[in-house]
Homo-oligomer: A and B are copies of this chain.
Amino acid sequence: MASASETVENYKAISAAEFFYKYKEIAGFANPARALYQTVRELVENALDATDAHGILPNIKITIEKADQVHEYYKITVEDNGIGIPPHIVPKAFGRVLFSSKYVLRQTRGMFGLGVKVAVLYGQMTTGRPVEIITSQPGLRRIYYYKLRIDINKNQPIILERGSWRKNRDWHGSIVSLTIEGDWSRSKSRVKDYIKRTAVVTPYANIVFMTPEGEIYYYKRVIDKLPSPPKRVKPHPRGVDLELLKRIRETGKYTTLYNLLTKSFQSIGDVTAKKLISQAGLDPNIDPMKISDKDLLRLVNIMKKYNKYRPPKAQALSPLGPDVIKAGLTRIYEPEFVEATTRKPSAYQGHPFIVEAGIAYGGKVPRSPPDKPNLLRYANKIPLLYDEGSDVITAVIKEDINWDNYLVHLPAPIVVLVHICSTKVPFKGVGKESIADVSDIRREIKLAISEVARKLRNYLSKKIKEEEKKKKIVNLAKYIPEVARALSIIIGEDGLGYNNILDKLAEIAAARTGIPKNEVEKVIKNVEIGT
């Protein structure tokens, strides 16, 4: 039996800020090297979300500077030309964990409303330095400045400084600076790789990156076309749950069940609403607040199982499109072959998603490992660098695709890009590094890659044929001058001369192989020079 002292447990509540302060490694801040990488990511992703998602061609500037002589402190500054943050929102947007604009149904890079706040927490626990924000929105007359930290116990911002000044040109955007303990030497290659991979899928962005050593990387905009921005949508009824329905009715906006269903969900029109309500044995005019829990649950189960809805709306999504993918791959790899595809929208558990794939081959594409092509994974336009081994995309390119069937004999100079966009990417963790194996998604990935791989096969097969043709000509042509010489001797000076015989033979060879005569002659010329 337990003694009294052993039975005492210390229960306590902690704030969301304290939770992520204690367990910061969950959000990707496990150590100084990883934290530096993660901070760059969070700031860059916010900068891109503030621009391309709002129809603005992004100009992004990333600077990492050593911020202390003795300690490994780094100041990370990211500047964008985005829509900025409303001044009264700034303190909470940077100083309150679980406060965000990302909690809506729309594809964004940010998802959890968490990253930059954990970076602020990491900065204040390692260097004590606050976050600094300069921001202005289009149409505003002033630029606003804030310096703040987070009160961990209360999960509230503490404003240390604030100010504003008049704009003299219509600048809008944000400049955010954070100073954290980092480990540049250990995170350098990841950070560079992250920015390069970001550049691959944002050929419409100017990206400038300055390292602590003063190196400058400049990815110049190569196309002016933006992917169409995502729009916010209502939830799809296939993804409904009891709590969602309760939360909707508690808004008090709907006086009848019919109203609630048709106005708060996508894909439920008049006919569908009536069907669902009658299957649940309910009255369309009932006040939603008066439906019993049991009836509500029956309705939920009917809504989840009904299979004649229109699929979830894809306007919440913003795929890159084949042109952007091809331009991006070309900007970095200058390949001999490049193709890309964007699949039609699909859905899992009521969440719409689109898979895109691109392949670049040859040119400056590096040689792949022997077991799989080089892989660039993306989710909602974010490059995924860590945990490749546990990602569904890796599983597909290793297990579901036989590359030899596509004439790709690994190792080969091939890079495969896969992009999954969704209002809810099934990430395995808050760190957003790998995607769970959801069968609907896996199938679409396979189809997308196969589609592009077939085009690669056509290209490679043509290339092989041409090479074979060339070989054939060379093989033939090698003997033609000799044969011509021999014949010209046999026939003697009365008959056709050497050059005429050569010409006749070239004609015969061209007719037999189907290769244009002038090509045959070119090869013959080379053989003559060679011998």
Contact = CB atoms under 8 A, between A and B. Distances in A.
B389 A103 contact: no
Interface string A8-52: 011111111011011101100011000000000000000000000
Given A4-B139, A98-B19, A152-B247, A92 B428 contact: no
Interface string A301-338: 10000000000000000000000000000000000000
Interface stretch (A119-127, A161-169, A278-286): A119-127
Interface stretch (A238-246, A269-277, A449-457, A467-475): A238-246
Contacts of A139: 4, 7
A99 B13 contact: yes
A124 B297 CA distance: 10
A124 B243 contact: yes
A429 interface: yes
Contact of A125 (B84, B98, B244): B244
A512 interface: no
Interface in A481-517: none
Contacts of A103: 10, 12, 14, 22
Contacts of A19: 16, 98, 112
Interface string A235-276: 000000111100100000000000000000000000000000
Nearest to A11: B101
A100 B12 contact: yes
B56 A2 contact: yes
A54 interface: yes
Given A30-B436, A125-B241, A13 B96 contact: yes
A59 interface: no
A7 B54 contact: yes
A55 interface: yes
B128 A98 contact: no
A479 B113 CA distance: 83
A1 B56 contact: yes
A23 B126 contact: no
Interface string A90-121: 00110010111101100000001100000001
Contact of A127 (B26, B92, B124, B297): B297
**For the complex, would chain A's binding face be called helix, strand, loop or mixed by DSSP majority?**
loop
A296 to B, nearest CB: 7
A243 B98 contact: no
A21 B128 contact: no
Given A125-B243, A152-B243, A83 B6 contact: yes
Given A98-B16, A293-B128, A297-B127, A229 B6 contact: yes
Contacts of A247: 152-153
Contact of A2 (B55, B93, B112, B427): B55
Nearest to A241: B125
A172 to B, nearest CB: 8
Contacts of A26: 427, 429-430
A101 B9 contact: yes
B426 A429 contact: no
A469 to B, nearest CB: 45
A250 to B, nearest CB: 8
A390 interface: yes
Nearest to A56: B2
A276 to B, nearest CB: 17
Contacts of A18: 98
A138 interface: yes
A86 B301 CA distance: 37
Contacts of A137: 7
A268 B155 CA distance: 31
Contacts of A243: 21, 121, 124-125, 152
A332 to B, nearest CB: 28
Contact of A11 (B10, B11, B93, B138): B93
A528 interface: no
Contacts of A124: 242-243
A71 interface: yes
A289 interface: no
B54 A2 contact: yes
Interface string A410-441: 00000000000000001111110000100000
A216 interface: no
A197 to B, nearest CB: 20
12 contacts: A2-B56, A3-B55, A7-B54, A7-B137, A7-B139, A11-B89, A16-B16, A26-B427, A26-B429, A124-B243, A128-B297, A428-B431
Across the A-B interface, the 4 shortest Cβ-Cβ residue pairs: A9-B101, A429-B429, A125-B241, A125-B243
Given A6-B83, A127-B297, A429-B429, 17 more contacts: A1-B56, A1-B138, A2-B54, A2-B56, A7-B138, A9-B85, A10-B104, A11-B93, A13-B92, A13-B99, A14-B98, A14-B103, A23-B112, A30-B426, A126-B241, A152-B243, A429-B430
